[in-house]
């Protein structure tokens, strides 16, 4: 059978942030595809859409009217998944039918008044305003006595379930620490204790920066890379070089630099297949429960679904749903493809 080659042979990779494994099958990347092909819905959108619920001055689905905002705009979701005045309660049968009430607040952030302006096409100053608003909301929501975690995220593109094309993101703040951040909290804490106060991602970054194999781009304060353990084909992560627990600790200079990394990555995404690249992205940071979390290290995950082209996406079905996450294209191949792309948006060629 010869010697094992991680670039050619099936293997499993461990995610030290969650404790999960992913099956990597490099030999399958050349298999023919006769499955579902997505329709490309790329179209020129106007700067203002009179029927859009998120454009300035328009009436939203819930009946409220947006102000004629000029930059960013935030409001409480008209159809929130979490409600702050949910009454306390527990299911009486706490053995096999365990349930607990959950309080929370859901907010919507419009990145720009322009209906047709996504992050990769925005100016650095405009993206920095988005980051400033994230921080303001994080501090305001996190200060609520019943809020213990603030999840900032963005769904981009209809293929990711985005219900409105106007560029926007969301913030869900809640009583409990959700499952994935809780896994990351536990494993980062364990690593921090066992490695003399070094954060897991600090040590990981040192090794990645030395190898350069999975680095996509680097700014003064941030690194954008394809993690060794990625699940999605072109999954990436933005990691702060300084081991800060949460977004609120970013300095003014770091906020600008975060905007540069965010824009730089999303330009590469759009350039990959020359479309407005879909993804779900979100910030993972320390809880807001009042404890000290020096073991946490700020990072932002990007999970794009596209695999081979603008029309073929990765499906998480069968084995992935019932057994284990699996991927064909290796993280190293994905990083190489992204790194080789031009840093000027394809629309500006």
The structure tokens listed for 224 are 């954008």
Rounded alpha-carbon distances, angstroms, from residue 7 to 31, 32, 229, 335: 16, 20, 14, 14
160 class by beta-carbon count within 10 Å (0-12 exposed, 13-18 middle, 19+ buried): middle
Centre a 10 Å sphere on the Cβ of residue 66 and count the other Cβ atoms it contains: 18
- CA dist 18 and 195 (Å) reads 18
Half-sphere CA count of 193, side-chain side, radius 13 A? 7
Helix (H) or strand (E) holding 228: none
Please, which residues have CB within 8 angstroms of residue 122's CB and are 6 or more apart in sequence?
111, 112, 263
Helices (H), the chain: 124-142, 179-194, 200-211, 252-273, 319-322, 331-339
Active site annotation includes 168: yes
- Tell me how far apart the alpha carbons of residues 347 and 274 are, in angstroms, rounded to a whole number: 8
User: Of 330, 229, 213, nearest to 16 (Cα)?
Assistant: 229
List 11, 115, 166, 168, catalytic entry: 168
Name residue, tokens 């990645």: 208
343/112 Cα distance (integer angstroms): 22
| Tokens coding 305 | 């679904």
Return the number of other C-beta atoms located less than 10 Å from residue 53's C-beta. Answer: 18
**Residues involved in catalysis:** 168
């Amino acid at each position: 059978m010869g010697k094992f080659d991680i670039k050619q042979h099936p293997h499993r990779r461990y995610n030290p942030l969650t404790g999960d494994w992913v099956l990597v099958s490099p030999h399958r990347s050349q298999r023919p595809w006769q499955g579902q092909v997505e329709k490309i819905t790329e179209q020129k959108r106007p700067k203002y859409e009179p029927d859009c619920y998120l454009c300035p001055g328009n009436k939203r689905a819930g009946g409220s009217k947006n102000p004629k905002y000029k930059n960013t705009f935030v409001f409480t979701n008209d159809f929130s998944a979490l409600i702050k005045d949910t009454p306390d309660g527990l299911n009486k049968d706490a053995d096999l039918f365990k349930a607990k009430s959950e309080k929370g607040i859901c907010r919507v952030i419009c990145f720009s008044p322009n209906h047709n302006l996504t992050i990769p096409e925005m100016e650095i100053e405009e993206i920095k305003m988005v980051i400033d608003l994230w921080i303001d909301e994080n501090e305001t929501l996190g200060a609520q006595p019943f809020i213990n975690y603030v999840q900032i995220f963005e769904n981009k593109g209809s293929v990711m379930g985005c219900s409105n094309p106007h560029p926007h993101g969301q913030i869900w703040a809640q009583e409990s620490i959700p499952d994935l951040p809780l896994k990351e909290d536990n494993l980062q804490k364990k690593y921090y204790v066992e490695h003399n106060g070094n954060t897991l991602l600090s040590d990981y970054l040192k090794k990645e920066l030395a190898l350069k194999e999975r680095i996509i781009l680097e700014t003064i304060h941030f690194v954008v890379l394809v993690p060794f353990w990625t699940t999605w084909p072109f999954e990436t992560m933005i990691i702060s070089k300084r081991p800060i627990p949460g977004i609120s600790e970013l300095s003014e200079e770091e906020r600008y630099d975060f905007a540069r990394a965010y824009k730089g990555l999303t330009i590469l995404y759009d350039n990959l297949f020359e479309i407005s690249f879909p993804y779900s992205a979100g910030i993972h940071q320390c809880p807001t429960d009042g404890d000290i979390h020096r073991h946490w290290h700020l990072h932002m995950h990007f999970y794009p679904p596209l695999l081979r082209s603008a029309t073929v996406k990765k499906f998480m079905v069968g084995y992935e749903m019932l057994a284990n996450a699996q991927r064909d294209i290796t993280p190293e191949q994905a990083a190489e493809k992204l790194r080789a792309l031009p840093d000027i948006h394809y629309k500006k060629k």
